[in-house]
A and B are shown apart, each in its own frame.
Chain A
Amino acid sequence: MVSTNYVLILSATLFIIGVAGVLTRRNALVIYMAVELMLNAANLAFVAFASAFGALDGQIAVFFVMTVAAAEVAVGLAILVTIFHTRQSVDIDSLHQLKG
């Protein structure tokens, strides 16, 4: 099998691509997807550690992360759709005031 460090480096690379997506894109949907990418990168590190140490706890953590991500996406996309209906845009630069 490959060294654990290779899997961790892949995980870090995916995470940092997600960070770059959050920092540079202006479309709220794409920013959301970049956050999902970061969650997946962390999941990959969890599975790699679970495999390296021969313990199942890392895989259980991934299970919980998946559940929280599903809940987060359901609520977050509902918020995005509501924002789009009031402001006709999902560009985060147009969302600069708290007033609805």
Chain B
Amino acid sequence: MSIDLLIFLGLALVAVGAALGMLFSRNTVYAVLFLVLVMLVLAVLYLILGAPFLALAQVTVYTGAIMVLFLFAVMVLGPQKLAEGEGPISWQRPWAFGLTALFLVEVVYAFAARVGGLGKLTCATAAAGSPAAIGKVLFNQYLLPFEVTSVLLLVAAVGAVVLTRE
């Protein structure tokens, strides 16, 4: 068992554990903090997979902006421990857990049993996912989607202001 595999297994364990913590925690603030942990672990995985720019974007955009917005919303709505009793359909929850477990088994089997897999990951070089390389592709090949994204962000900002004004 190589050191790479050990590091990956440790990170995967933390990510899955934190995701399960988010799924089962009754307190909404704890759920947000568990999700922050998942996103930080994913940022480390991006670094390992040779995407340093995305790793830093993950930390600043997801854990820095999006999750802080979530925490802000939790504080505005009151960090109430929402008593999640039985829904209108009592058999829905066990049924949902059973079906998702079945789905997980099937997906893992599909990946594990696939013939002719993708093989080992190529070792990350320093220049592969650097901001310079990303920018070169983004501003040449993907220039139009990039500009459309800026319009989308503008619309979202206007929408958020319009929705929350009194």
Contacts and interface: CB of A to CB of B under 8 A. Distances in A.
A47 B119 contact: no
B70 A77 contact: yes
Interface size class of chain A, counting residues whose CB lies under 8 Å from the partner chain: 35 or more
Interface string A17-60: 11111011111011011101100100110011111111011011
Given A27-B28, A34-B23, A81 B39 contact: no
Contacts of B124: 1, 51
Contact of A16 (B84, B107, B119, B145): B107
A78 B152 CA distance: 16
Q: How large is the interface on B (under 10, 10 to 19, 20 to 34, 35 or more residues)?
A: 35 or more
B27 to A, nearest CB: 10
A24 B62 contact: no
Given A24-B93, A27-B28, 17 more contacts: A7-B8, A7-B45, A10-B12, A12-B107, A23-B99, A24-B23, A29-B73, A30-B28, A33-B35, A36-B35, A36-B62, A50-B49, A56-B133, A69-B62, A70-B153, A73-B66, A79-B163
Interface of B: 4-5, 8, 12, 15-16, 19-20, 22-23, 28, 31-32, 35, 38-39, 42, 45-46, 49-51, 53-54, 57-58, 61-62, 65-66, 69-70, 72-74, 76-77, 82, 84, 87-88, 92-93, 96-97, 99-100, 103-104, 107-108, 111-112, 114, 117-124, 128-129, 133-134, 137-138, 141-142, 145, 149, 152-153, 155-157, 159-160, 163-164
